[in-house]
Amino acid sequence: MSTTALQSPRTGMKAARPAGGVNFLRALHAEWIKFTTLRSTWILLATTLAAMVGIGLLGAWGVATALEQAADSGRDPGADGVRPQLLYLMPTGGIDFAQLIIGSLGVLLIASEYSTGMIRSTMTAVPDRLSPLFAKALVIAAVAAVTGIVSSFATYFLMQPVLAGYGQEFGLEVENLVPSMLLSGAYLALASLTALALGSLLRNSAGGIVTLVALFLVLPTVLGLIQLDWIQDALPYLPSNAGRQLLALEIAGGDLTRLQGGLVMAAWSAVLLAAAAVVTKVRDV
């Protein structure tokens, strides 16, 4: 056990052993390396961006066409439910799909470590177990936020030349437009955190993604069909419904405010992440 024995040229380090152990920043650095060195990360991020921009542009084009046809036939466009204001929603119009794609990335970020066995390397390198989980949370939330903001602004700017052909351009001064585009980042960040928590709780990619889709897409639709008062009352508190207030340009009187909606969605993420933290800490890896 002498120190000279530790510096064997065959297996040891020739230089003095650098000091320092694990800390959260290093765990974060490691998670960032892991995040950026998987091809699936880039594919899913590119798909999220493409979904946001593509759906937004298609939506804008459709609305503009409808407006033009209504104008040509001399009818009041509002009678068909087509209003120019619909265009203002299109920069964030792809969020329903984007949340599922980046949510899948959030699930995979941790569930794929369980399925490949990588988690055992992760948890032996950083044995407090919570640092890797929270570092992953930080990475996916930050990336999702940037993706949301970049893609909604990209959609807005790419939309303008299309709309110009229909004389329907609109500016960033439209009320609440810029906040909604910025908050699309918060929305995707919260969605991806919920997804990460689901992946961590279920430790299974397929199960996590299915649960994510159920929670964000199926449940709001199905429950919306059930005409029971208490279900209708609960509906606005589902994560995607509540989070939608972050993107809304105008909010009706009885609805959750922008802040309330954001907080409800954040509460879903926080509770599920807390549960994931407890389970990660207690359960064997």
| Residue 46 found at the interface with other proteins (CB under 8 A) | no
d(CA 110, CA 98): 19
Nearest to 48 by CA among 132, 174, 146, 194: 146
Total site size for other proteins, rule CB under 8 A: 42
Joined together, the tokens standing for residue 172 give 């960033």
Nearest to 136 by CA among 239, 24, 216: 24
| Residue 20 found at the interface with other proteins (CB under 8 A) | yes
CA 70, 157, 177, 186 torsion: positive or negative? positive
| Residue 73 found at the interface with other proteins (CB under 8 A) | no
| Residue 224 found at the interface with other proteins (CB under 8 A) | no
* Minimal distance, residue 276 CB to other proteins, in Å: 18
From 150, 210, 235, 285, residue interacting with other proteins (rule: CB under 8 A): 285
Contacts of 83 (CB under 8 A, 6+ apart): 77
| Residue 16 found at the interface with other proteins (CB under 8 A) | no
| Residue 225 found at the interface with other proteins (CB under 8 A) | no
* Minimal distance, residue 167 CB to other proteins, in Å: 49
Residues 138-197 that bind other proteins (CB under 8 A): none
Stretches 15-23, 95-103, 201-209, 215-223: which one binds other proteins (CB under 8 A)? 15-23
Joined together, the tokens standing for residue 230 give 């208490």
| Residue 254 found at the interface with other proteins (CB under 8 A) | no
Letters for 115-144 (x = contact with other proteins by CB under 8 A, - = none) are: -xxxxxx-xxxxxx----------------
- For 203, half-sphere exposure in the C-beta direction (CA atoms, 13 angstrom radius) is 13
At 89, phi and psi to the nearest 5?
A: -85, -15
| Residue 278 found at the interface with other proteins (CB under 8 A) | no
| Residue 2 found at the interface with other proteins (CB under 8 A) | yes
d(CA 135, CA 33): 11
Nearest to 273 by CA among 193, 207, 189: 193
Beta carbons within 10 angstroms of residue 19's beta carbon:
5
Stretches 18-26, 172-180, 245-253, 271-279: which one binds other proteins (CB under 8 A)? 18-26
Binding site for other proteins (CB under 8 A): 1-2, 5-6, 8, 10-13, 15, 17-18, 20-22, 26-27, 29-31, 33-34, 37-40, 112-113, 116-121, 123-128, 284-285
